[in-house]
Structure 1
Amino acid sequence: MPQTMASINITLNHLRSAVAASDCGSFRQAAELLGIRHSLLSRTIGQFEHAVGVMLFRRSRGGVVPTAAGKGILHISRMILEQVDNLIVMGRSSGCGAFGRLAIGFCTSMSAGNLRASLVEFKQRAPKIELATVERSRIHLINALRNGAIDIAIIPGQVPISDSKRLAVWSERILIMLPQEHPLAAYEQIHWTDLQNETVLLSQYDPGTDMEDVLVSKLVADDKRPNIERHDVSRGIVKSLISMGLGISLVMESDIGASLAGLVYREIQDGSGSSRIGFHAHWRDDNENPALQRFLSLLAERYPSPPAGEG
């Protein structure tokens, strides 16, 4: 019983056989190129012609030449094969992290510092991976990590997150941001006790809460603490308030890359030296995104963990 057009499935073998015959100008040479029998190639092309309902080639003793209708079909066949080859290359590259998408969450500035440097280097190493950045509060980032909205969260401090892994990456110094005409601006280094009579403006959003925790830990006695004002604004607005002379603020050193005119930054110290906040990278245990694995390799390379017994 003869096959109908609907009963013949056009496969990649049909396309490759026809394109090879067109390129070689001969069924016999095309068969040799593909490493199959001449009769099999001829039968495969015949099935293809039957499926599309037109003759693809004019056959003669001198070889084969595409028909007018065949030229269009062969052109489309060639495009399909190229796309399939591209899919295979992309799939293999994605498997090793060369392509894909990586969503990174954070709650600190990217104007300077290690987060910025890490992303710049990662993009240089993997230019075809799409980077999606998400700036949110710590709580929002934890929820986004749990529901898979982001692949990795870079968070200050030590935050326990269930069903996730953690890597200690870098630490940042805490600096004082103040108007350039402020009396403390005359000093290169400032001590925590110098803040006793100051008004410290902090954002209610991360990492403002971390700054307040450090300040309270450094100045335990209530009568030694400065006046703390918490504002429901972004870090950028806090900078504007400081430039207006309404107080001073605590910032991480990554914030200094995007400063306003009239502001200066000074290191704050205690008897042990500069004060720092550590950062950790968090990711889900079951995340198999190859792009994430490549980024984690970069972080481990840039910020190796100290040997056991050190740090």
Structure 2
Amino acid sequence: MAVNFDLNDLQAFRAVVELGSFRKAAEAVNISQPALSRRIDKLEAALGVRLFERTTRSVTLTTVGRVFAPSAEQLLDDLDVALLGIRDVSSSRLGHVTIACVPSVAYYFLPNVVASYHRRFPRIRVKLLDSSANEVLSSVISGEADFGVSFLGSQESEVEFKVLLQERFVAACRRDHPLARKKRVTWNELYEHEYVSVDKTSGNRLLLDQALSAVAPRTPSVCETRHVTTMLGLIEAGLGVAAVPSMAMPVRDHPVLTSVPLVDPVVKRRVGIVRRRGRPLTPAAEQFYRAIIEMKRGSDEVKSDANTQTKSKRSTA
């Protein structure tokens, strides 16, 4: 028996699933609400099941609808992948992209990328899963996220890891703290003061434990957190000092917080894009992936120009 529905019906179904409203879905796919209802009715009739429970106040998926939704999404994504080499379908369809990232990346790196992406593709929704490095890796491997941005994954056989940047750990402290007057701080000097640390579930903790096997703090930390952003809030409140990735620090002219390079040893981490090996990206995710690469390339060019200008001024001074 032929299945009597088409691509437009599936797109209407996905729009209702994503937006939870027939009115909003109709606006998203640029048709009237009665026309969208007819598409859903046609799809339900072709499948012989009800996909939605509809009341005057809400629209929810039926049990069958919840089972069908991932299949419909996969069908549309597979079609977009097939068409990617023919035309740019990302800018003209309703879709979504899910990116998993560590909080420091979500705070420092991704906002500009998301803003630029939204201007180019206003109909595609972006979902950010700001989680620990281990959770980012799990989200990518499970398929919950299209890809991730993190500092863990380079050793995993299931994923590809493309390096974006390398950053060092710095001592975060208040501007009125004694360490703020130093040009550099050793790890032993850092641990002479009350300090805040990340707990054992943090990817940063694993990285630091491996790099600092020869450095033993004399006392335990006064507080442990899971995220660096929480740690910085505690430092700002005067709880002590902390070792944090440089990218996690707020802007240089922050009225309270500052940072000092940590040495003996210098500890660095590589931040990169994590993708599941052998799993193609949807067109929406592919465009976001490219946007991150372009943003990073543009940032490198700005830094290169600034360094060239600085060297030129020194040579003429």
Per the alignment, in what secondary structure is the counterpart of residue 134 of structure 1?
strand
* 290, 293, 297: which one aligns with 2:283: 290
Q: 1:130 to 1:173 in 2, by over 3 A?
A: same
Partner of 1:277: 269
Partner of 1:245: 238
1:263 aligns with 2:267: no
The size of the alignment, in residue pairs, is: 219
Q: 1:302 to 1:179 in 2, by over 3 A?
A: closer
Name which one, 1 or 2, has greater alpha-carbon Rg. Answer: 1
In the alignment, the residues of structure 2 paired with residue 148 and residue 234 of structure 1 have an alpha-carbon distance, to the nearest angstrom, of 23
Partner of 2:89: 96
Partner of 2:74: none
Unaligned runs of 5+ in 2: 5-31, 40-79, 298-317
In the alignment, the residues of structure 2 paired with residue 236 and residue 205 of structure 1 have an alpha-carbon distance, to the nearest angstrom, of 16
Q: 1:301 to 1:242 in 2, by over 3 A?
A: closer
Contact in 2 for aligned 1:200/1:227 (Cα 8 Å): no
In the alignment, the residues of structure 2 paired with residue 159 and residue 177 of structure 1 have an alpha-carbon distance, to the nearest angstrom, of 27
* 93, 109, 120: which one aligns with 1:125: 120
1:109 aligns with 2:104: yes
In the alignment, the residues of structure 1 paired with residue 290 and residue 273 of structure 2 have an alpha-carbon distance, to the nearest angstrom, of 12
Compute the displacement of 1:280 (Å).
1.8
Contact in 2 for aligned 1:111/1:258 (Cα 8 Å): no
Contact in 1 for aligned 2:150/2:273 (Cα 8 Å): yes
Q: 1:108 to 1:245 in 2, by over 3 A?
A: same
Partner of 1:35: none
Q: 1:226 to 1:182 in 2, by over 3 A?
A: farther
Per the alignment, in what secondary structure is the counterpart of residue 181 of structure 1?
coil
* 272, 287, 292: which one aligns with 1:299: 292
Q: 1:216 to 1:148 in 2, by over 3 A?
A: closer
Compute the displacement of 1:146 (Å).
2.5
Q: 1:233 to 1:270 in 2, by over 3 A?
A: closer
Contact in 2 for aligned 1:211/1:251 (Cα 8 Å): no
Compute the displacement of 1:278 (Å).
0.8
Q: 1:162 to 1:169 in 2, by over 3 A?
A: same
* TM-score with structure 2 setting the length: 0.55
Can you list the C-alpha shifts for 1:61-112, whole angstroms capped at 9, x where unaligned?
xxxxxxxxxxxxxxx9xx79xx9xxxxxxx7799532242110001222575
In the alignment, the residues of structure 2 paired with residue 168 and residue 281 of structure 1 have an alpha-carbon distance, to the nearest angstrom, of 7
* 214, 236, 241: which one aligns with 1:220: 214
Contact in 1 for aligned 2:137/2:152 (Cα 8 Å): no
Can you list the C-alpha shifts for 1:156-194, whole angstroms capped at 9, x where unaligned?
144434433321112233221113322111124323342
Moved over 6 A (4+): 91-94
Q: 1:183 to 1:212 in 2, by over 3 A?
A: farther
